[in-house]
Chains A and B, each alone.
Chain A
Amino acid sequence: MKKNKNYILTPQLDANDDKALVIDINCKNYSSINEGDIIATIESTKATFEIPSDYSGFIYFLCDIDDEVKVGDKIALVSDDLKVLNQIIDDLNNESDVEKNDKSPKLTKKAEAAIKKYKIDINKINKKGIIKEKDILDLIKPNDDSYQEILTLKGNKQLGKDLMIASKSEIPHSYVEIEFNVTKLLQVISLLQKESANFVSLLGIITYATANALKTNKFFNSYRYNNDIFIYKDINIGIVISNDNDLSLPIVRNSDFLLPDQIVKELFRIRKELLKNKSKIKDYTDGTFTISALDHTAIKSFVPIIHPKQSAVLALPSITEKLSLINEEVKIEKVINLGISFDHSFINATMANNFLSDIIIAIEEFI
């Protein structure tokens, strides 16, 4: 520890001399001294000079009376810990010249941190001079020849990765799903789209129904931190929309106060601004619940990752057609496997089942 290892050096006495003679040593080895105490006297060609200690502690001399010392030479060692002092002296005695023979590689602070993080064996480093962080990272990177391309996550993608890893490691995920028959719903939507000027969408209706269900299933509009569950005042539903290579997460604030068509308008507003790079940060923050919408894909079932500071996420996959026997007739019914990932540390499957059922009830009431 550097704090316990202070050297007293031979000072430059005058313009001419770079050497001096030790003519007196004023205290014994291992004695206790205070800052300012005169510890030795040296003599140059012109005069004698008393050397004061800049440190308090236990002293050990690295020179003797009648030794010739150069300017800058270490003449004594001071430590405030006797044990440490003994250890240093042992080390000095065991090695002929610790400083000069020190063959361990010199490292920048970032390199030291990287070695610790990636648990690198310091002896594997075969570079002369000061080793940088990049030299350590090059050791752990795979050989570039075996790869067609190497891409690096940056910016929001890197942030997304970090958040997902954090979520998976801190929240115990569990998942359930219910088969939701949407045949009638889709017929209603189709009719409304064809006949009225109102823009109706499945996502808008599901978001509306989810907001209603969250009013009575408060645990799903909350998050857990250690042993505390924080239930949000507002219901701000974020909707994960995957669009080509980019994910966007517009948040419909106070969704419990909006009708399906208002939700749709709000989504259009936010998404349009995103596409035109004019998004406002408030449209992307403070979500309390998330719907992951993959209804425009071919995916029939999936398990989404819960967002930080939330406790559940609704999975909305695409519509599946299935054959059913109804009144002795074979009919094609349309279903969605409506699923939910939830924090299992305080939410159980029964609660999840009730929540999903409440969403379906809310949709059926709307119809």
Chain B
Amino acid sequence: MRYLESLNLALDQIMSDNQNAVIIGEDIKDPYGGAFKVTKGLSSKYGHRVISSPISESSIVGLGIGLSLNGFKPIVEIMFGDFITLCADQIINGASKFPWMYGSNFDLPMIIRTPMGGRRGYGPTHSQTLESLFFNIPNIKIISPSIFHDPGQILKDTFYKMKELNLFIENKISYPNEIILKEQVDDYNISIINNNTEFVTLSLVFDRQTRPDIVLLTYGGMSNICFEVARDLFIEEEIIIEIIIPSLVKPVPFSDFHESIISCGKLVIVEEGISICGWGSMITSNLNDELFDSLKAKPVIVGSKEFPIASSRKLEDKILPQKSDIKKAILKIL
């Protein structure tokens, strides 16, 4: 099943089981079914609960907040993650603050779904990875499933657990990919690290029998590339890389990867967003506080360069993190 289909089926099921679930977005009604087809078929089934909105991101998030305060469970689609900047005030000064400002007696359950990421040549305002803008905003969860998770299940988990605003970050290049749910494929093993918690963190390794040489920590769309890097380095050099992929991006589930980091002491963090003040920075700060003595080498963060993303694919590749950048970081540490 493809990533996109998994999400579509999950939305279908949510809408079917929850009469107070509402989907709001631009161009999401049939026959178009949304820019990336994630909502295809839903308006035909669920009629007025699928709302095609005007082109006003701030308003549709505001609408969602209002609906949430009135007992609905809205899922708002922002067509491209780049446009989330237009919702910043609603998110930061609205959804994040209202429950606290008004006595914490109520929840504000709401999902904002949006695809981030480049590698399509869509240009500087349609290719970004911007969830880092909200890393230090309280009372918001950020979730991002990879192709190794079941994105539909993660979306359902988010829906049923939400008490606050959840940013659900999808990745454009992942949409057409087949999701990989098998625990053991001939070549590699995927296991769940945190069986008892809400949002699954996965561990993927090419040789589970041997202690890993290094940990690669990533989430979302970069998991695909990290997988290829791990495979290549295993074949070329028999380097054993444990890839840890949380689905919960914020708050960071630090305890999920501490054990693996302690066992080998070496770490590369990979993110598609700009590495400065990004996800990797949050993690290295935590490691500094809690695992400093266990580190055998300085952790390296591989992310985008601090530059607008070019439309030309060749130039885009120089800005976004590539396989070669990750390999170089790993080999430098080892």
Contacts and interface: CB of A to CB of B under 8 A. Distances in A.
Interface string A103-114: 000111110000
Contacts of A133: 238
Nearest to B172: A15
A108 B236 contact: yes
Contacts of B207: 132
A160 B244 CA distance: 44
B35 A109 contact: no
Contact of B235 (A15, A16, A109): A109
A71 interface: yes
Given A106-B187, A128-B186, A15 B236 contact: no
A140 interface: no
Nearest to A109: B236
Interface in A13-59: 15-16, 18
Interface string B219-262: 00000000000000011111000000000000000000000000
Contacts of B37: 16
Contacts of B172: 15
A129 interface: yes
B120 interface: yes
A354 interface: no
B234 A108 contact: yes
B35 A130 contact: no
Interface in B300-315: none
Given A12-B120, A15-B172, A130 B36 contact: no
A109 B232 CA distance: 10
A interface, by DSSP: helix, strand, loop or mixed? Answer: loop
A345 to B, nearest CB: 41
Nearest to A18: B176
A107 B238 CA distance: 10
B148 interface: no
A15 B234 contact: no
Interface in A133-169: 133
Q: How large is the interface on B (under 10, 10 to 19, 20 to 34, 35 or more residues)?
A: 10 to 19
Nearest to A127: B186
Given A15-B35, A109-B235, A129 B186 contact: yes
Contact of A132 (B185, B186, B238): B238
Interface string B179-195: 00000011110000000
B32 to A, nearest CB: 9
A74 to B, nearest CB: 17
B35 A108 contact: no
Contacts of A18: 176
B120 A130 contact: no
Contacts of B168: none
Given A129-B186, A130-B187, A15 B120 contact: yes
A12 B313 CA distance: 12
A72 to B, nearest CB: 9
A108 B36 contact: no
A137 to B, nearest CB: 12
A311 to B, nearest CB: 41
Contacts of A108: 234-238
B199 interface: no
11 contacts: A15-B120, A16-B36, A18-B176, A108-B237, A109-B236, A109-B237, A110-B238, A129-B187, A129-B188, A130-B186, A133-B238
Interface of A: 12, 15-16, 18, 71, 106-110, 128-130, 132-133
Q: Identify the 6 closest CB pairs spanning chains A and B, nearest first.
A: A129-B186, A18-B176, A128-B186, A129-B187, A108-B235, A130-B187
